[in-house]
Structure 1
Amino acid sequence: MSDNTVNVHAGKKDVIWNYVGTFMSMASNFLLIPLLLLFLSNEEIGLWYVFVAIAGFAQLLEFGFTSTLARNLLFCLSGVRKLSKQGKDIGEIAGEVDWHLARVIIRTSKAIYSVMGVIALIMSASLGTVYVDAVTHHFSVAWSFPSWVVFIVSIFTNLYFLYCLTNLRGVGDIAGENKAKTFGRLAQLLITALLLMAGFGLMAASIGFLSYSTIMRFVANHIFNSHREVQQGLISDTTFIRRTEIKEVLSTVSFVAWRDGVVSLAWYGATQAMSLLCSAFLGLAETATYSVMLQFATAVHYFSSVYMHTYLPSFQSAYIKGDSQRQRDSVDRGMSCYVLMFLACTLGVTLVVLPVLPLFKPDFICNPALYLTLSVYYFLLNQHSLYCQFIVSMNEIPYFKAYLVSTIAGVALTCLLCGWMHWGVWGLILGQAIPQLCYNNWHWPQYVYKKIGGTYIQSISTGTRWFVKNITEVCKRRH
């Protein structure tokens, strides 16, 4: 049987641009930190991270549809003629693309994000405003109210324009997705820096955040339209898209998407929500210190996960086509790269970056021991999350209940340690870490290896040897 499907194979360009995109995302955040420290008060910095935490909460309305829609579009381009709620239907895999189904998925995607954006706008303007009003004592912090108004608009655009990135991820264009993000981050950094220096205070950060989504959307649409094979295929289908077809796709993808949304909610509770808990229990000044350390730990995770994320579309395509060896290679190489990069980056932040921060603001001190403890928690949390991404790539999501239970237990324990026992920031970290250690941290890596064969130690060892071999060969060729 001939294969007229779209080939999805990650290449060097995708790896390089994924690193560039991740680096620019981190660099923009890192460069924003000294700018915020120089131009804003501790209360303004703490309020900014409250804004960011609320934006993260609004993103939960995405409820797992981004990865689910992108995955199903990729399945369609790999030959799937009918979407399945779980797994794959071998009888519905062909050697050519059903372009009408692809059009229905894309149309469904845009409709979903438009509804999400409007809901986020309403919730932010009502409940979000009440919360910000409370923590700022009726918007007493400089520039707080107009900055919040602009930020509400950016919450809408960040959600609605997700359809652009979903399209690129769905065609396996990791390079294009990261180009769009990179140009967006550059615009955000430049505009924020200029407005901060012009004296716009917190408003500068809000306008910069809005510029990110606007520029990202323009670049992403341009790149998606440059995929000639896909565009010609989409244009070749002129059949009218019925509402029943959109409802059918929505019903199918919702089965995994809402479960993935529960996972996103649990993930928010285990990460970004801690900034809200910190502001509630410890105040804005301590929230600023904690949030900066959390931002570094998050950046280390993103950078360490780049290689694995680059090959995730390839893993999904291999799953549909039954290529088990390519699946194992993706897990071995992706996870070994994550472990090695996380250790190296954490060491660099602890020894080089943290000691420099007091130079920008003398009263802004980050405890290295506290940061290392936070990093251990983040390493284990993100590691099992990456294994779960391999699981959901096979169109199943057995872990959503465990995520929800662990997060509820974590929030309850955090409130106990911070509110009743007064453990401060240590209570935030340990309260979240202990429930995760009880199950998620070790169970889901084991689950993956039962599926593909092997063990954690074997996988990391195999992947490390592959990297060492390839690096050695490159060095020999250069000499």
Structure 2
Amino acid sequence: MQKFSMTKGNIIWSYIGTVFSMASSFLVLPFIFYFLSSKEIGYWYLILGVNGLTVLLDFGFDPAFARNIAYIWSGISNLKKQGVEKADSEKVDYLLLADMIQTAKVVYLCIALIAVLMISVFGSLYMKNVVFNVLPGNIYVFSWIVFIVSIFFNLYFGYYSALLRGSGKVEHVNRAQVFARILQLVVTIVGFCFSRTILVPVIGLLVYGVAFRIFCNKYFWNDITIQQHKRVLKKKLNIKRTRDILKSIWPNTWRDGLVSISNYLSTQGMSLMAGIFLPLSMTGVYSIGIQFASALGTGAASINGAILPMLQSNFVKRNYEALKKETSLAISAYVWLYWIGAIAVISVIFPLLRLVKPESVPNIEVFSFMLIYFFLYQMHSAFASYIASFNVIPYMRAFIITAVVEIILLWILLSASGNIYTLLLIPILVQGVYNNWYWPAYYCRIIKSSFRNLLILGTQLIIKRFKENLIAFCKR
């Protein structure tokens, strides 16, 4: 049976993986600006925009597969559409696990093919009218073809992420992402030394997808437990069992998919509204602030990726004490890291940026609203992911309604005023009416605790572990 535990490696690599993924695009930016023309840079950002939109095509399958794989490792032999039965034994149904792996391969193959078809038709028409008329030449068309190939690999091999995370190998999936990103950076930087064309960073994207698959394949199949049952896990596709699995996971998958779309609207929608209604200079200030605030939220919440498999496993066993301990550590780490990071940004990073371009840096008052919004938003999103660990998605309707109301109110009020404070306050108020407080309270009721108790317990555990590590370090 796969053992789920909050190891130091899982936590550290979760943070490293998140930070490196966010930083990799910035690391290659100076080379993009130096070697490519302004038109080619515009083409590159269009490619990145299309690449970002393809993430939505996952439509909830990634968390659904990861969640159900964790249930199987924890002793479940029957999958349910809603909720999860209590495991009576720790025996793993490897035949069911094999069927889940085969189902994931089929689903992600379909997602990749649909994406390639859509981008090949609609994306190519768009690029022909917008880019290829301005940038004539076979190199630009060929780079577009290479990009489409990279989309296929990046999406198809995405099932490895769910497979590793569901198997408790959070450290390994983050390692694979980091090492693949490093290869992407190396290929891009070295490639520019030989060819100053848009094809170089596009090949870098392709290398990332292939490298990620190679690393993940190695990490999963080299596991001792996996090798012992490799013959069963490599079984051929059984269409009937695949259909049965899809029937079991689909009811929550489409809910997860709608939640991901609502999250996109709740975060990216504000930036779109800023571009429509605010002056260009003010939009730049707003965008910089949002970039830092969202990065703080994403970075501080990285630990959630490490604990979700453990939450799923412990709920199967109905081990509520373990659920309290794991949740308290994650929430406390998020709270303290977020606000320590916020202080660092305000006191160190912003003053440095003002030396370069003072008019583009948001003031503390404006940035404070952004910090409050993303802190509360990431908080209730984290608790929603904890609730989903129990194979229920009760928050779907609330998330969708909130996102739609937020966009409508912003459109109406910004049309009337065009004030940046409208853009800052409306999202805070709309999310604060329900989502910010209800879903943390909902989860706490399930595990019979409170947010205050979780924060106190988690802080005590963090201090205790820090002292233990400090003493161990001093004894070396």
- Tell me if both proteins adopt one fold, taking TM over 0.5 as the criterion: yes
Q: Amino acid of the residue matched to residue 452 of structure 2?
A: I
- 1:423 Cα deviation after fit: 3.4
Q: Which residue of 1 aligns with 2:432?
A: 437
Distance 2:73 2:166 in 1: 8
The worse-fitting range, judged by mean Cα deviation, of 40-49 and 376-385 is 40-49
Structure 2 unmatched ranges of 5 or more:
none
Q: Amino acid of the residue matched to residue 173 of structure 2?
A: E
Distance 1:432 1:34 in 2: 34
Distance 1:432 1:141 in 2: 43
Distance 1:411 1:75 in 2: 37
Structure 1 unmatched ranges of 5 or more:
none
- 1:314 Cα deviation after fit: 1.2
2:13 is aligned with 1:26: no
Q: Which residue of 1 aligns with 2:362?
A: 367
Percentage of matched positions with identical amino acids: 31
Give the alignment of 1:378-397 within 5 angstroms: 378-397=374-393
The worse-fitting range, judged by mean Cα deviation, of 449-458 and 229-238 is 229-238
Q: Label 1:249 to 1:228 Cα distance change in 2 as closer, same or farther (>3 A).
A: same
Distance 2:273 2:215 in 1: 36
Distance 2:359 2:36 in 1: 13
Out of 69, 72, 92, the position equivalent to 1:97 is 92
- 1:301 Cα deviation after fit: 2.2
Q: Which residue of 2 aligns with 1:88?
A: 84
Q: Amino acid of the residue matched to residue 125 of structure 1?
A: S
Q: Secondary structure at the match of 2:296?
A: helix
- 1:237 Cα deviation after fit: 6.4
2:405 is aligned with 1:413: no
The answer as to whether partners of 1:68 and 1:256 remain within 8 angstroms in 2 is yes
2:64 is aligned with 1:68: yes
Deviations 1:370-422 (A, max 9, x none): 44432322111111100011100011110011111111122223333445533
Query: Considering only aligned residues, what root-mean-square deviation do their CA atoms show, in Å?
Result: 3.3
The worse-fitting range, judged by mean Cα deviation, of 380-389 and 460-469 is 460-469
Q: Secondary structure at the match of 2:360?
A: coil
Q: Amino acid of the residue matched to residue 232 of structure 1?
A: Q
Q: Which residue of 2 aligns with 1:255?
A: 251
Out of 307, 312, 334, the position equivalent to 1:338 is 334
The answer as to whether partners of 1:417 and 1:431 remain within 8 angstroms in 2 is no
Distance 2:140 2:226 in 1: 45
2:210 is aligned with 1:231: no
The answer as to whether partners of 2:70 and 2:168 remain within 8 angstroms in 1 is yes
Q: Label 1:45 to 1:433 Cα distance change in 2 as closer, same or farther (>3 A).
A: farther
Q: Label 1:191 to 1:352 Cα distance change in 2 as closer, same or farther (>3 A).
A: farther
Distance 1:438 1:35 in 2: 45
Out of 287, 304, 307, the position equivalent to 2:303 is 307
Distance 1:400 1:128 in 2: 30
Q: Amino acid of the residue matched to residue 173 of structure 1?
A: K
- 1:20 Cα deviation after fit: 2.5
The answer as to whether partners of 2:36 and 2:196 remain within 8 angstroms in 1 is no
Q: Which residue of 1 aligns with 2:114?
A: 119
Q: Label 1:195 to 1:444 Cα distance change in 2 as closer, same or farther (>3 A).
A: same
Q: Which residue of 1 aligns with 2:455?
A: 460
Distance 2:200 2:280 in 1: 19
Q: Amino acid of the residue matched to residue 112 of structure 1?
A: V
The answer as to whether partners of 2:161 and 2:173 remain within 8 angstroms in 1 is yes
Q: Which residue of 1 aligns with 2:316?
A: 320
Distance 1:449 1:201 in 2: 54
- 1:96 Cα deviation after fit: 1.1
Distance 1:220 1:126 in 2: 31
Q: Amino acid of the residue matched to residue 89 of structure 2?
A: A
Deviations 1:16-50 (A, max 9, x none): 32232223223323424555566668887676555
Q: Which residue of 1 aligns with 2:164?
A: 168
The answer as to whether partners of 2:70 and 2:167 remain within 8 angstroms in 1 is yes
The worse-fitting range, judged by mean Cα deviation, of 273-282 and 166-175 is 273-282
Q: Amino acid of the residue matched to residue 377 of structure 1?
A: Y
Q: Which residue of 2 aligns with 1:77?
A: 73
Q: Which residue of 2 aligns with 1:469?
A: 464
The answer as to whether partners of 1:293 and 1:371 remain within 8 angstroms in 2 is yes
Distance 2:128 2:359 in 1: 25
- 1:131 Cα deviation after fit: 5.9
Q: Secondary structure at the match of 1:396?
A: coil
Q: Secondary structure at the match of 2:6?
A: coil
- 1:206 Cα deviation after fit: 3.5
The answer as to whether partners of 1:387 and 1:445 remain within 8 angstroms in 2 is yes
- 1:77 Cα deviation after fit: 1.4
Q: Matched residue pairs, number?
A: 472
Q: Label 1:192 to 1:285 Cα distance change in 2 as closer, same or farther (>3 A).
A: farther
Q: Secondary structure at the match of 1:311?
A: helix
Q: Amino acid of the residue matched to residue 212 of structure 1?
A: Y
Q: Label 1:239 to 1:16 Cα distance change in 2 as closer, same or farther (>3 A).
A: closer
Q: Amino acid of the residue matched to residue 113 of structure 1?
A: Y
- 1:363 Cα deviation after fit: 8.9
